[in-house]
Amino acid sequence: MAVTLTTPNTLLGAFQPKGNVAKLATNAAIVLIGTMLITAAAKVNVPVWPVPVTLQSFAIAALAAAFGMRIGVATVAAYLIEGAMGLPVFATGGGMAYLLGPTGGFLIGFLAQAAIIGYAADRGASGRPLALFGAMLVATAVLYAFGFAWLVMMAGQAAWVDQTNVLASAFAKAVQPFLVWDTLKMALAALTVTGLWSFFGAKR
C-alpha cells in the first residue's frame, strides 16, 4: 500500500522519493528538521510578558505550506512533545509547566494553524499567493482565538490580568500586540513559499 503523507501540490510532495521506506525515512527526517527550525524561530523573540513576540508563527506557516497538512501537523506535534518532555525548545524554556503556562494557548493553537495552512497547500494554494496568504490569515485568527481563550481561562490566577476587565486585558495581551507583525510575517511566509513553488515546484 502506498504511503501518502503529502500531495504533489506541496513543495515536499514535489520532491518525494519513490518507495514507501524511502518516503517514511524522508518524512521522519523532515519532521525532525522542522522541529529544529521552529525551535530556532522561537529563540528569536522579544521578551514581552506574558506572551513573547517570536518567529514561531512564521516558521510554522511556511513549513505547513511547504509540507502540507499531515506533515505540517506532525511537525508541530513533535515540537510540542519535545517541549513537554522538558527540552528547551520553546521561547524561554520547556516542560509541562511551560506548556500549561500563559503561552499554552498559542502553543496548542499552532496545531490548528498548521492544519489550516497545510490543508490549503494540499489543494494547490502553494502556487497562488493571495489564496495562501488568505489561508494564513484565517489560521492566524484561529491561533489568536486559542491564545485569547487560554488567557481568559487563566485570568483568575494571573496577576497581569486586569480583574475588572478580563476580556479587554486578555485581548491586549494575546492579540493586539501581534496584529501588525503577524500580518507581515504571514505575507512574507506566503511570498516565500509561492516563490519557491514557482522556481521548483512548477518545474518538476
CATH of the domain at 64: 1.10.1760.20
Query: What confidence score (pLDDT) does residue 1 get?
Result: 38
- pLDDT value at residue 5: 73
Maximum Cα–Cα distance for the chain, whole Å? 60
Q: Let me know if residue 204 belongs to a domain.
A: no
Total domain count, the chain: 1
Q: What is the rounded CA–CA span in Å between residue 145 and residue 141?
A: 6
Structural domain contains residue 9 = no
Domain that holds residue 46: 22-197
Whose cell is 489550516? That residue is 116
Per-residue pLDDT band for 158 (boundaries 50, 70, 90) equals low
pLDDT confidence bin for 157, thresholds 50/70/90: low
Cell numbers given for 61: 506557516
In-domain check, residue 188: yes
8: in domain: no
**Helix, strand, or coil (residue 204):** coil
Say if residues 14 and 200 touch (Cβ distance below 8 Å): yes
